[in-house]
Amino acid sequence: MAKVVVVGGGWSGCAAALAAKKAGAEVVLLERTDMLLGTGLVGGIMRNNGRFTATEEMIAMGAGELFHVTDAAARHKNVEFPGHKHATLYDVAKVEPAVRKVLLDAGVEVHTRSRVKDVEMDGNRITAVITDNNEKFHGDVFVECTGTAGPQSNCTKYGNGCAMCIIRCPSYGGRVSIAAKAGVKEMMAKKADGTYGAMSGSCKLLKASLSPEIVDKLNSTGVAVIPVPKDVREDEYILTKKACQQYALKEFIENVVLLETGHAKLMAPYFPLDRLRKIPGFENARFEDPYAGDIGNSIRYMAMSPRDNYLKTLGVENLFCGGEKAGPLVGHTEAICTGTLAGANAVRYAAGVNLVEIPTDLAVGDAISYVNEQMKTEEGISKKYTFSGSVYFERMKRLGLYTTDIEEIKNRVRKAGMIDFFNRKVI
């Protein structure tokens, strides 16, 4: 049986592992920390704007398991907040154990606290990866889903220092790039101001530190939009620092936007605490993630791999990539989409079967192809892309790809020949 080793247990790694297992391979998933999902432990926003379309496309293509988990773990559905409609907010406390159960039930071998520090090569092929405790994991093909955030040196050099975020580099070691270890020259994204990287786009506040009125509003509706007095507003330049351009709207400067994901998710990369506490209802506010949300957040998009539309990493014979490694695609939905395709194609490669691109008639296929082209240009690498807003959502609408009509989405997937594609055994 072909063996696939997935490195990185965020949303994309989990999706890659599941897709590879369903295609018939033996699958090992290696995660650096003690929990799966990475920044998905902070996030929680699904199905907003074009993500609804992408989600239903993936379900129709047979890759619905992880989306069903987030739907089942939802605290709020059909939520609206500035610039965003029909969002689902999942419970960040419940989703990780549920995802882990899906993987284990499927037969994926999951190893947490297993940071890969190096690779063994035979020519242009990876033969094994080596973890911090010197365990070797051999495989026929590898999928890299290590993300692009951190390590601490990047957050210091390109950001405001280590903000003590959910990535927890001091505890588990920083991100190590498999592609770079294999000799691939990777790409760094730029911000609108020309500097490198982008800050993660949100913080968590302790709900107990907020006023009862705000907490009640959050618990009952899932969202609270609180006007910020003019004398404590942040400068608009902060919008240029955000990874999540879909939230780089003036409404997010004029208001504090909170979403309820079990915690109070503050839709800003950071917010000076002395200013935040001047806003009515936030007098006792305290950050929960990152702990130093007062000054900054983690820096992302520091190591993206050159790849094709099969999500095969260029320059290494048997390496695929998903999530942020596959380019400046922002979000959990986007990570599940690319991880799924990378995992499925990894098995096809190992089996000697033709690799598959998702047709550009579908939003998921168009996004993968479009971002690949944009990564090759100076202007394109300075932007971020997501189904939920900014550049790519506008493209979706212009091309007629955005819809919330589930039957229409199924018909498109059927017409593209992709119905149940990810449920098909390859081996």
Instruction: Look at residue 83 in the predicted model and tell me its pLDDT.
Output: 94
Q: Classify residue 235 as exposed, middle or buried by CB count within 10 Å of its CB (0-12, 13-18, 19+).
A: exposed
The b-or-e profile of 323-355 (16+ CB within 10 A means b, else e) is bbbbbbbbbbbbbbbbbbbbbbbbbbbbbeeeb
Residues paired with 287 in a beta bridge: 205
Instruction: Extract the tokens encoding 19.
Output: 């897709």
| Domains defined for the chain, CATH in brackets | 3-190+300-423 (3.50.50.60), 201-289 (2.40.30)
Residue in the structure block whose two tokens are 């897709």: 19
Instruction: Look at residue 249 in the predicted model and tell me its pLDDT.
Output: 79
Q: What is the value of pTM for the model shown?
A: 0.97
Rounded Cα gap, residues 349 and 373, in angstroms: 23
In 3D space, the residue among 214, 231, 230 whose CA is nearest the CA of residue 282 turns out to be 214
- Inter-CA distances, 298 with 149, 152, 153, 192, 224, Å: 7, 8, 11, 17, 25
Output the tens digit of pLDDT for each of the chain's 427 residues: 899 999 999 999 999 999 999 999 999 999 999 999 999 998 899 999 999 999 999 999 999 999 999 999 999 999 999 999 999 999 999 999 999 999 999 999 999 999 999 999 999 999 999 999 999 999 999 999 999 998 999 999 999 999 999 999 999 999 999 999 999 999 999 877 778 998 998 999 999 999 999 999 999 999 999 999 998 887 777 777 666 766 777 888 899 999 999 999 999 999 999 999 999 999 999 999 999 999 999 999 999 999 999 999 999 999 999 999 999 999 999 999 999 999 999 999 999 999 999 999 999 999 999 999 999 998 898 889 999 998 999 999 999 999 999 999 999 999 999 999 999 999 9
Coil, helix or strand at residue 64: coil
Are 37 and 58 spatial neighbours (Cβ–Cβ below 8 Å)?
A: no
Residues 6+ apart with CB under 8 A from 74: 46, 88, 89, 90, 91
Helices of type H across 256-377: 273-276, 332-351, 363-374
The edge-to-edge listing of strands for the beta sheet with 255-260 is 223-227, 255-260, 264-266, 203-205, 287-289
Instruction: Look at residue 246 in the predicted model and tell me its pLDDT.
Output: 67
